[in-house]
Amino acid sequence: MSDYLKQGIIYGATLIGVTAATLIGITTFTKLQHPPITSVQRGFRGTAIAQLYDPAELAAAQAASKVPRSLPPASAAGVKASVAYKNVRVLGNLSVGQFTRLMVSITNWVAPKQGCAYCHNVANMADDANYTKIVARRMIQMTQNINGNWQSHVQNVGVTCYTCHGGNPVPKNIWFNNPGPESAGGLAETQTGMAHPTERINYSSLPYDPFTPYLEQDHSIRVQSTTALPTDDLSSIKETEWTYALMIHFSQSLGVNCTYCHNTRSFGNWAESSPARVNAWYGIRMVRDLNNHYLDPLNSVFPAYRKGVLGDSPKVYCATCHQGVYKPLFGVSMVKTFPELQGPPASPTAAVEPPAAAAPTAPAAPTPPH
């Protein structure tokens, strides 16, 4: 056998080996979606605004989002909670029956394993010693604010504690300010998140924290220039990357493609977008309101172990409520039989700790951009 032939056989065998290993790798490590995939047209014909569903995945998500049955409503008659109890500052208008029903429901939604003692000093229910009770009181007002002032987003479906908590004291999807990995600084400094893929933006090599500028601060989510020549438009490559990172979070949180909201021919064009994009626009403003007026001001109440590396409060984003579904709990409304959570908060400035910083401001009626 000539040397050339031997070498050829060795190369050939190696090639076959590598190809087989790659194929096995691909089938093992990627989730290939097999047909049928359902396509639903959601925009005008010809705009390519179609939504692709994998029926098997959809069925699995539906099975995972079980809605617990609500307790039967209690009578509004009888002694008021404000009279019966010592330290009721938000729910005083409820009858004792309604109040008790809500306490039991809250326990089921937030602390089913831990029970009343998760928030209460059971030797003295009026005691506010546990930080969890102070947070919970504020959460009741936050829920009333969402349902009462943000119908532009939650419509009449609304939310209860269960929407975010789903039976856990700490909701599954929360976020903190993220300073990113330590870097050497100087020329080696990279703030862009390149080569630092994170799960929460689908392992893309985009900025790891698009949430602080857009869902806590109110930076403008715009990358497309509206004029042909540069004017005072400061849109940059950096802002484009931040925007795309945020948009990937939107898609992931709702379990949808970009075309659920956009006509990808022109991302910025509202006239060609689907109505869901307007809903999302209000959602962004609602999330900013929740973070700025409820979670951030609770900073002094949360213990250090609940805070982020920078000492900031845990925060809400789209995934906190949506959890991979286009409408939380597939649009089932749990708040219908809980008028006390429908809000808006009766006395937004009720003496609830921490008083000064926490007073919620009614959100200014937002108008969708054109």
Residues 168-187 that bind ligand HEC (CB under 6 A): 169-171, 174
Q: Which residues, numbered 136-155, are part of the site for ligand HEC (CB under 6 A)?
A: 136-137, 139-140, 143, 146, 153-155
Q: Which is nearer to ligand HEC, 49 or 321 (CB)?
A: 321
Instruction: Note whether 157 binds ligand HEC by CB under 6 A.
Output: yes
Closest CA to 170 of 197, 131, 200: 131
Among 123, 133, 124, 129, residue whose Cα is nearest residue 91: 133
Nearer to ligand HEC, 156 or 183 (CB): 156
Whether the bond between 36 and the residue before it is cis, its omega within 30 degrees of 0, is yes
> Does residue 332 contact residue 67 with C-beta atoms inside 8 Å?
yes
Report the Cα 195 to chain-centroid distance in Å: 25
Compare residues 179 and 258 and give the one whose CB is closer to ligand HEC: 258
Contact (Cβ atoms closer than 8 angstroms) between residue 268 and residue 282:
no
- Of positions 43, 49, 98, 132, contacts ligand HEC by CB under 6 A: 132
Q: Which is nearer to ligand HEC, 87 or 190 (CB)?
A: 87
Q: How far is CA 37 from the centre of its chain?
A: 26
Assess contact for 55 and 36: CB atoms under 8 A: yes
The C-alpha angle 262, 191, 281, rounded to 5 degrees, equals 25
Which one of residues 248, 325, 335, 358 is an interface residue with ligand HEC (CB under 6 A)?
A: 248
CB of 278 to ligand HEC, least distance (A): 7
Distances (CA, A) of 177 to 38, 139, 210, 214, 300: 38, 21, 10, 12, 16
Handedness of CA 295, 216, 152, 320 (dihedral sign): negative
Tell the smallest beta-carbon distance from residue 351 to ligand HEC (Å).
Answer: 10
Residues 79-118 that bind ligand HEC (CB under 6 A): 85-91, 103-104, 106-107, 110-111, 116, 118
Copy the structure tokens of residue 298.
Answer: 């609770």
Which candidate, 137, 128, 171, places its Cα nearest to that of 298?
137
Closest distance to ligand HEC from the beta carbon of 292 (Å): 13
Most distant pair of Cα atoms in the chain: their distance:
102
Choices 10-18, 55-63, 165-173, 203-211 (CB under 6 A): range interacting with ligand HEC? 165-173
Question: How many amino acids of this chain bind ligand HEC (CB under 6 A)?
Answer: 81
Pick 11 or 270: Cβ nearer ligand HEC: 270
Nearest to ligand HEC of 27, 155 (CB atom): 155
Q: Per CB under 6 A, which of residues 180..239 are in contact with ligand HEC?
A: 221-224
Binding mask 33-72 for ligand HEC (x = CB under 6 A): ----------------------------------------
- As measured in angstroms, the least distance from the Cβ of 177 to ligand HEC is 14
Q: String of b and e for 149-178 (b: at least 16 CB within 10 Å)?
A: bbebbbeebbbbbbbbbbeebebebbbbeb
Build a one-symbol-per-residue string for 318-357: x at contacts with ligand HEC by CB under 6 A, - elsewhere.
x-xxx---xxx--x--------------------------
The interface with ligand HEC within residues 251-290 (CB under 6 A) comprises 251, 254, 256, 258, 260-262, 267-268, 276-277, 279-281, 283-284, 287, 290
Q: Which is nearer to ligand HEC, 64 or 126 (CB)?
A: 126
Smaller CB separation from ligand HEC, 34 or 86: 86
| Least separation in angstroms between CB 12 and ligand HEC | 43
Cα(287)–Cα(320) distance, integer angstroms: 10
Rounded Cα distance between 291 and 203, Å, is: 25
CB of 23 to ligand HEC, least distance (A): 29
Nearest to 164 by CA among 215, 210, 106, 206: 106
